[in-house]
Structure 1
């Protein structure tokens, strides 16, 4: 397990709209762009093998140069290469971070100076959600899956621990990038679950992200 002392001051970052990585969760990625192939190769040469997943924060013109302030670092835990040179990797979520500034350099991918303070809880054990009404949540989730025509392994969902269930759904369900960012920035598992419930309820009512923000 990575400790606070192992966390670096700079990270290579992978800006990917709609991709969400959370602490103690796993995110599979399919890497094919040359700059990110180089990122993976360089990452594997470092002791911690950490990559910062962060979402672009489009400006008024829709550009994706700016980045959101908060991202999540993942440790490269699985790696395989396809016959045509693509990489299939899995990141294990370690801790969220705050992006301070981009670091200039000659690498083909972006690197950022980061601050880990404020996210100490991410390095601990599984988080609990004491007020979780699991039966009510599962009923709501069932309605959502039905309206979205989604299939699910309900035995696995019912057996999952609270954190695994909430974080997995936050990562897997199709929400807008800004909604994904709100789930990432939730200060606690309880807040993330409440945000997730709000998003699902709005989706069931045919609402939009803009309505949620209002």
Structure 2
């Protein structure tokens, strides 16, 4: 099993607002900007093949480059294909969250950071379970949410999914605000992520902002 000590101290980081990756989940990405094409090509040359997804910090005005949230999640590049016009379609498999210590100056067109994996040992472990998960109540809430937002999904697959896959997939795919995605990422356990997800869905049903599109 991979241990935090096996992971590199410096990784490329991909600041992408609203894109959430969590451990043991998969994130498909369409890469087309030249700097990120270079990032993918360099990543493929490394033994770990890690890319750190991270949210830019919200705030008034625009800073270039935007400051980064302190916690992100690194994914291993596990699928890769190239289109005829030079774009890449990749999939990252979530490995572990990390804490950004500092950005690393260098000659790459993309950003890199020195990171710490301390405190996220469970991310590299086995599938998490949620012993207090009231599945019937949760699915009823989702049904009302889908109806209110005119969404559709593979309902049977969602009902049959394991707790971790169900909670993590919905956390990643529902169109919450970036700061809400960050709260889901930083949840210390599957139970707290599920509680945060329920709170966000209930807030949306009460007429709050956020919520939106479940991608197939």
TM-score (norm 2): 0.94
Alpha-carbon displacement from aligned partner over 1:169-205 (angstroms, at most 9, x marks no partner): 0000010000000000001100000000000000001
Asked whether the equivalents of residues 3 and 121 of structure 2 are also in contact (C-alpha less than 8 Å), the reply is no
1:201 aligns with 2:202: yes
Alpha-carbon displacement from aligned partner over 1:1-21 (angstroms, at most 9, x marks no partner): 533232000110000000000
CA RMSD of aligned residues (A): 1.1
Match of 1:21 in 2: 21
Asked whether the equivalents of residues 103 and 113 of structure 1 are also in contact (C-alpha less than 8 Å), the reply is yes
Q: Distance in 2 between matches of 1:86 and 1:150?
A: 30
Q: Distance in 1 between matches of 2:151 and 2:207?
A: 17
Asked whether the equivalents of residues 58 and 179 of structure 2 are also in contact (C-alpha less than 8 Å), the reply is no
Match of 2:48 in 1: 48
Match of 2:35 in 1: 35
Asked whether the equivalents of residues 98 and 116 of structure 2 are also in contact (C-alpha less than 8 Å), the reply is yes
Q: Distance in 2 between matches of 1:161 and 1:44?
A: 31
1:177 aligns with 2:171: no
Matches within 5 A, 1:1-214: 2-63=2-63, 65-208=66-209
Asked whether the equivalents of residues 15 and 54 of structure 1 are also in contact (C-alpha less than 8 Å), the reply is yes
Q: Distance in 1 between matches of 2:62 and 2:208?
A: 23
Unaligned runs of 5+ in 2: 211-216
- SS of alignment partner, residue 90 of structure 2: strand
Match of 1:212 in 2: none
Aligned residue pairs total: 209
Alpha-carbon displacement from aligned partner over 1:80-112 (angstroms, at most 9, x marks no partner): 000000000000000000000000100000000
What is the CA-CA distance between 1:38 and the residue it aligns to?
Answer: 0.2
Unaligned runs of 5+ in 1: 210-214
Asked whether the equivalents of residues 59 and 66 of structure 1 are also in contact (C-alpha less than 8 Å), the reply is no
- SS of alignment partner, residue 12 of structure 1: strand
Q: Distance in 2 between matches of 1:126 and 1:15?
A: 27
TM-score (norm 1): 0.95
